[in-house]
Amino acid sequence: MTQIPEQDRVLIFDTTLRDGEQSPGATMTHAEKLEIAEMLDDMGVDIIEAGFPISSEGDFKAVRDIAERSKQAVICGLARANPKDIDRCWEAVKHAHRPRIHTFIGTSPLHRAIPNLTQDEMADRIHETVSHARNLCDNVQWSPMDATRTEWDYLKRVVEIAIRAGATTINIPDTVGYTAPVESADLIRRLIAEVPGAGEIVFATHCHNDLGMATANALAAVEGGARQIECTINGLGERAGNTALEEVVMALKVRHDIMPWHTRVDSTRIMNISRRVATVSGFPVQFNKAIVGKNAFAHESGIHQDGMLKNAETFEIMRPADIGLAETSLVMGKHSGRAALRAKLHELGFDMADNQLADIFARFKDLADRKKEVYDEDLIALVHAGDDPENDRLQIKSLRVVCGTGGPAEAELEMVIDGTGKTARETGDGPVDAAFNAVKALFPHDAHLQLYQVHAVTEGTDAQATVSVRMEEEGRIVTGQSADTDTVVASARAYVNALNRLLVRREKSAPGEDTRAVSYKDAG
């Protein structure tokens, strides 16, 4: 059963792996989901929504494996309002040390029209499905999807039905990001005041950011009496995303004077998980994003720098260390040894097994030979770049590109594909295009390039470039990553990394499975 938190405690419910991952193109691999779940558990997130088990075999396995490995956090799965979904969800979460079933149905007039149910028919469905979930699990969350556009009387009625049927948490979603802070606070306040039994359960808030008000709406809901905030790392999520975990956690910390509630989240782990989610989802964080953006703690202007040197509080309301952001420093050079690398990675929040360290050490040495100064950011990029190359079916052996004015670029590429060496020479509209054409000549495929993105990790012309490549084939979407001081090499490796991931996906799923054979938006 859900523990009602002390009055000044707000539960953090992270849905990066469910609502966040639903964002088109943000699909993560099984191993990445397990890794993110472990990071969330370790940082003190109270509830992890690990996925939507009925939507695909991959989602089911991810939720099940996350449940089995969970430590402190409650592990929750999403289910639509029907017994089949709920049973499948229970099968996946039941292994958790603390499982939860989250079932929902769209209650606004527009959403009621999809399954074509009358108000009474839907009310019956809610009673039956919440009771069914409660017979399986003593921790049940129920959500009236599009609550903020549901008629007040009907919302009140169905919330009461769900509580009577055994829901222990009632989540009030602002599914389309329509509400405003005053309304958000008022809605929760009125539900708590007017629905019988409301004082016995936890109210949650789930906000989308379509009007840029998701964080403000979530905090206002807490003001109104909600004690669970649903959010994602970096605000990842469909369309404009969800409330960002880092924003609510830091707002409650920094403005404790006017918002006297606390969370259990260790804020010093924010930066690390933010970077990891950006890498595995292929959704980079915008530079001026609150808390975790590259510029969030940068003070460029002369006036700011002068003030900062005299007293950091002049322009800083929180310290970089509060979110685990170490000062950028010149850390390592080509003479640094394995022990120093291990210690530095530990300081940055990465504890490596010996075989992982050996791989990163080899890549670090290679980088240090080519790049004068190796910064913290360079090491982080090395840790996050690509998969386990030894197990990849496609591997790049060498790449030479000739480009310039007066003609197309030309790429000469040598690859090993399933153990056999192959070479191709192709031209293209610029060096990256030529390299990609060469990969395609050696490994013909119909996957469609959806996104190609390059970021410089640090300043300077010898900076490493991190490249993300997102590809789609018959509904399967994968993102490949790589980092190198040579942008063309990083691009080719990211492309090949995406193809390797696609091959894994092909083996695991039928075409179209990743487009969500069932959509969470189908209410019934």
- For Zn ion, the binding residues (CB under 5 A) are 19
**Rounded to an integer, what distance in angstroms lies between the CA atom of residue 267 and that of residue 317?**
15
Binding-site partner at residue 145 among ligand KIV, Zn ion, none, CB < 5 to 8 Å by type: ligand KIV
The residue (of 171 and 272) whose beta carbon lies closer to Zn ion is 171
Tokens 């969030």 correspond to what residue? Answer: 296
Name the H helices within 225-353: 245-254, 270-281, 302-310, 338-347
Write out the two tokens for 36: 């993110």
Binding-site partner at residue 104 among Zn ion, ligand KIV, none, CB < 5 to 8 Å by type: ligand KIV
Nearest one of 188, 193, 190, 121 to 161, comparing CA atoms: 121
Task: Give φ, ψ of 413 to 5 degrees.
Answer: -125, 135
Beta bridge partners of 230: 13, 206
Strands 47-51 and 74-80: parallel
Cβ within 8 Å of residue 416, ≥6 positions away: 394, 395, 397, 422
The residue (of 175 and 497) whose beta carbon lies closer to ligand KIV is 175
The residue (of 210 and 474) whose beta carbon lies closer to Zn ion is 210
Q: How far is the CB of 213 from Zn ion (least distance, A)?
A: 14
Q: How far is the CB of 105 from ligand KIV (least distance, A)?
A: 9
Q: How far is the CB of 520 from ligand KIV (least distance, A)?
A: 6
Q: How far is the CB of 294 from ligand KIV (least distance, A)?
A: 29
Q: How far is the CB of 112 from Zn ion (least distance, A)?
A: 18
- Tell me which residues touch ligand KIV (CB under 6 A): 19, 104, 143, 145, 173, 175, 206, 208, 520
Q: How far is the CB of 67 from ligand KIV (least distance, A)?
A: 19
Binding-site partner at residue 344 among ligand KIV, Zn ion, none, CB < 5 to 8 Å by type: none
**Rounded to an integer, what distance in angstroms lies between the CA atom of residue 493 and that of residue 424?**
16
The residue (of 50 and 394) whose beta carbon lies closer to ligand KIV is 50
Which H or E run contains 321? none
The residue (of 173 and 324) whose beta carbon lies closer to ligand KIV is 173
Beta bridge partners of 420: 417
DSSP reduced 3-state for 94? coil
**Rounded to an integer, what distance in angstroms lies between the CA atom of residue 491 and that of residue 453?**
9
The residue (of 206 and 493) whose beta carbon lies closer to ligand KIV is 206
Write out the two tokens for 502: 């696609």
The residue (of 19 and 513) whose beta carbon lies closer to Zn ion is 19
Q: In 10 A of CB 262, how many CB atoms?
A: 15
Estimate to the nearest angstrom the gap between the alpha carbon of 185 and the chain centroid.
27
Contact present, 54 and 61 (Cβ < 8 Å): no
Q: How far is the CB of 180 from Zn ion (least distance, A)?
A: 18
